[in-house]
Amino acid sequence: MYFGTATNQEQWSNKEYTELMLEQFGSMTPANVQKWMYTEPEQGVFNYTAGDEFANYALKNKKVLLCDTLVWHQQYPSWLDEKTWTKKDLLNVIYQHVYNEVKHFKGRCFSWNVVNEALNEDGTWRQSLFYNVTGTDYIETAFLAASAADPRAQLYYNDYNIEYPGPKSAAVENMVKWLRSKHVKIDAVGLESHFIVGQAATEAQQQQQMQSYIDLGVQVVVSELDVRFETLPPTEAGLAQQTVDYQASINACIKVGKQCMGISVWDFDDEYSWIPSSFAGQGDADLWYANFTTTPAYTGVVSALEAGIEKGYKSKEKLRL
């Protein structure tokens, strides 16, 4: 089991940030540079310079490399929207993109987020370019291409608001059943776990939903954990609740055992959080404040992880913060 963080290269020029990242986390996820708009900016023209820099840096520093993301309705290149596609041609483009990228990084990526956020809140399919042209075939195509390119990498579907029972999580379960019935390799479900303080799924709900996925024959991963405040600055009571909310995800993962492969936060320092630019007036979601001091949630997470180590996880280096 790993405990890691997403990050961007431009942040590594901050020495204090980089020292904390390398000291505290056992895995690294590239927040942007492996996404389609960067790796294939022109059709058939691949650019892995930034992705290679990230991958080589992570592996040089003996971190587990979690690769992200292959097919998503955001951050794909503009040339995809500039053409009128037949189903056959778009599926071929998706296959070639996924196969080429995964093949390039073969042997370096422990896992791949293959398809990201393909569902609406009510469990229906998101009306993306990929779905509108190919139906659900693009999902199968992406997983087939990834598994052909690197059979050893762990492949997962990733989404938000699927951490507790409901129509969206039920749709993910049906997706897993469908892919497995066709003998398509899917190894795990990624739970983004972007929560709001006081509104997060409970530990019991998360454990129940994780187990529901596991019972289908796949593993789970907490892939993008953070817990944001809707109103700033946070109160003392709010900070205490944030700690509880973080611990709920950690404990649920630990309780389902090794079928929860690991946990990643979506960056760890509020200075570099994605939230203020996406949710105006919200934030303070991470384990470190912008001045690199730890939050109460940090202490709570460490306590939960230490309890997990005592319960039998062998690799303290990768489990600890």
DSSP state of 42: B
Kindly report the length of the chain. 321
Decide if pLDDT at 306 tops 50. yes
Give the up-direction half-sphere exposure of residue 312: CA atoms within 13 A in the CB hemisphere.
Answer: 6
Question: pLDDT exceeding 70 applies to what percent of the chain?
Answer: 96
313 pLDDT tier (thresholds 50, 70, 90):
low
Residue 251, token pair as written in the block: 């404990």
Handedness of CA 25, 16, 248, 284 (dihedral sign): negative
Q: Which residue has 């505290």 as its token pair?
A: 24
Strand partners, 2: 262
Condensed to tens digits (0 to 9), the pLDDT of residues 83-108 reads 999 999 999 999 999 999 999 999 99
Condensed to tens digits (0 to 9), the pLDDT of residues 248-304 reads 999 999 999 999 999 999 999 999 999 999 999 999 999 999 999 999 999 999 999
Enumerate the H helices of 66-111 as residue ranges.
87-104
Q: pLDDT at position 150, please?
A: 98
- Using DSSP's 3-state secondary structure scheme, residue 191 falls into strand
- What is the chain's mean pLDDT, rounded? 95
Element at 158 (helix H, strand E)? strand 154-159
CATH number of the domain that residue 280 is part of: 3.20.20.80
Ramachandran category for residue 166: left, alpha or beta (phi over 0 → left; psi -120 to 50 → alpha): left
Number of domains the chain is built from: 1
**Contact status, residue 284 vs residue 270, Cβ threshold 8 Å:** yes
Active-site residue numbers?
224
Helices first, then strands: H and E counts in the chain: 12, 9
Tell me the residue range of the domain where 288 lies.
2-319
